[in-house]
Amino acid sequence: MRNSFVARNPSVLIFLAILALFTLAITVLSEGVGLGLVSTSFVKTLGKTLCLALIAVAMDLVWGYAGILSLGHFAFFGLGGYMIGMWLMYERTRQIVVDSLANAPIPPTPQEISDAIGSQIFGVVGGSDFPVIWSFAHSLTIQLILVVAVPGLLALVFGWLAFRSRVTGVYLSILTQAMTLALSLYLFQNDSGLRGNNGLSGLQNLPHLDDVPQSIVSIWFFWASALALALGYLLAAWVVSGKFGSVIRGIRDNEARVRFLGYSVEAYKLALFTLTAMIAGIAGALYYPQAGIINPAEIAPIASIYLAAWVAIGGRGRLYGAVIGAGFVSLVSSWFTGGQAPDVHLGFYTIRWVDWWTILLGLSFVAVTLFAPKGIGGLVDLWTDRRAPDRHGADLGPDMGSLREREAER
């Protein structure tokens, strides 16, 4: 039983192949570099969906495998977006300011440039000085590090406090939700330094790349998102494949027993919580440049609850289930809420899907939990079960309650 990683996890290879084919197909059909059958806005939607699939993989690690129902992972996602958004907005504004001041009779001093950038960015919240948290906004490298460092650090501190006190189950969910809500409310304030409810905008315009049309930029981000998803999926599959995976699944099923085996349950939870927060940060940093705007409403608790619904509908405890759930539900959701779904006229009442979609989603969440706990991903089992049993060297005959080898091995 010492096969290679791929042989033990055939689903990883299949997933990567499907993702590669999908990326290639969209590239060929795209407006930017291909036949022009897929519009730029739809390429962006798909790219964003890949980012959502990545955070769903992180959620599956922390919930599906370790049993920690975190309702705060969108906070980490949003923080990742804010970190990259700060650089995008600063650099883009600086470029515009420098260009417009270039024709002035007296060359501007650095202080003048800085003030002009400040009033451009913070004028909307009635300020012009850079808050302390923007200290590194001029440096892409530092902001990229912060994309993983800030969510990671928040998760580390929060998780240390929560897990150390042995808060588990629904109480932990409530605590994570409170964290998200607090962060969101804080960012809504104008003096939070991140432009209050205006958020950061214009993120789709990459600095110094004015000549590159959005149709090309969208494909770049689509590729980057696909690559990030592939790497994130590989990492997650590797993490759960070995003994670490055994331990975290053990924690999910019987935390006390894992403790009596000598494993420090808190350290494992903390490591996993922090790792998934960092993955969520990366997903957010790729998502928001495609969305173009980030504001505190994005990290409201409801977003994290949606995330849990995606993973549940897609199938907990299997990574591809999370990807299927995020992809399927978020695309269907944008179809329903985008006004494309036809209204249903009942004579006395008209069902408008924009309003009724959340109810439909809620009902399907309940239905999946009650009737199909394996989710959409469980459908794969129907197919794998139908393969002919491998009886090599098996002595599981009519004895043993007539279990066939495959039935027994599962």
Partner 1 sequence: MSALLEVSGVSVSFDGFKAINNLSFEIGAAEMRAIIGPNGAGKTTFMDIVTGKTKPDTGRVLWGEFGRSLLAMSEAQIAREGIGRKFQKPTVFEDQSVQENLLMALKKDRGPFAVLFWRPSSADLDRVAALAREIGLADHLGRKSGKLSHGQKQWLEIGMLLAQEPRLLLVDEPAVGMTPAEREHTTAILVEAAKTRAVVVVEHDMEFIRRLDCRVTVLHEGSVLAEGSLERVTANQQVIDVYLGR
Our CB check for partner 1 shows the closer of 208 and 410 to be 410
Among 24, 257, 343, 381, binds partner 1 (CB under 8 A): 257
For strands 293-294 and 344-345, give the pairing: unpaired
Among 151, 196, 250, 296, binds partner 1 (CB under 8 A): 250
Among 46, 55, 121, 247, binds partner 1 (CB under 8 A): 247
10 is a site residue for partner 1 (CB under 8 A):
no
Stretch that binds partner 1, among 190-198, 265-273, 341-349, 378-386 (CB under 8 A): 265-273
Q: Considering the complex, what minimum distance in angstroms separates the CB of residue 34 from partner 1?
A: 41
Q: Considering the complex, what minimum distance in angstroms separates the CB of residue 264 from partner 1?
A: 4
Our CB check for partner 1 shows the closer of 148 and 240 to be 240
7 is a site residue for partner 1 (CB under 8 A):
no
Q: Considering the complex, what minimum distance in angstroms separates the CB of residue 5 from partner 1?
A: 9
In angstroms, the CA 191 to CA 289 distance is 24
Yes or no: say if 329 and 309 are a contact pair by the CB < 8 Å rule: yes
267 is a site residue for partner 1 (CB under 8 A):
yes
Q: Considering the complex, what minimum distance in angstroms separates the CB of residue 72 from partner 1?
A: 21
Widest CA span in the chain: 96
* Residue closest to 273 by CA, chosen among 303, 248, 306: 248
Size of the site for partner 1 (CB under 8 A): 28
Residues 223-242 that bind partner 1 (CB under 8 A): 239, 242
- Tokens 């495609």 sit on residue: 290
Residues 198-217 that bind partner 1 (CB under 8 A): none
Q: Considering the complex, what minimum distance in angstroms separates the CB of residue 62 from partner 1?
A: 14
Our CB check for partner 1 shows the closer of 211 and 395 to be 395
Stretch that binds partner 1, among 101-109, 176-184, 221-229, 260-268 (CB under 8 A): 260-268
Residues 271-330 that bind partner 1 (CB under 8 A): 271
Q: Considering the complex, what minimum distance in angstroms separates the CB of residue 270 from partner 1?
A: 8
Residues 349-378 that bind partner 1 (CB under 8 A): none
Q: Considering the complex, what minimum distance in angstroms separates the CB of residue 199 from partner 1?
A: 36
244 is a site residue for partner 1 (CB under 8 A):
yes
Angle at 160 between CA 158 and CA 162, to 5 degrees: 65
Q: Which residues form the interface with partner 1 (CB under 8 A)?
A: 1-2, 239, 242-244, 246-247, 249-250, 253-254, 256-257, 259-265, 267-268, 271, 395, 408-410
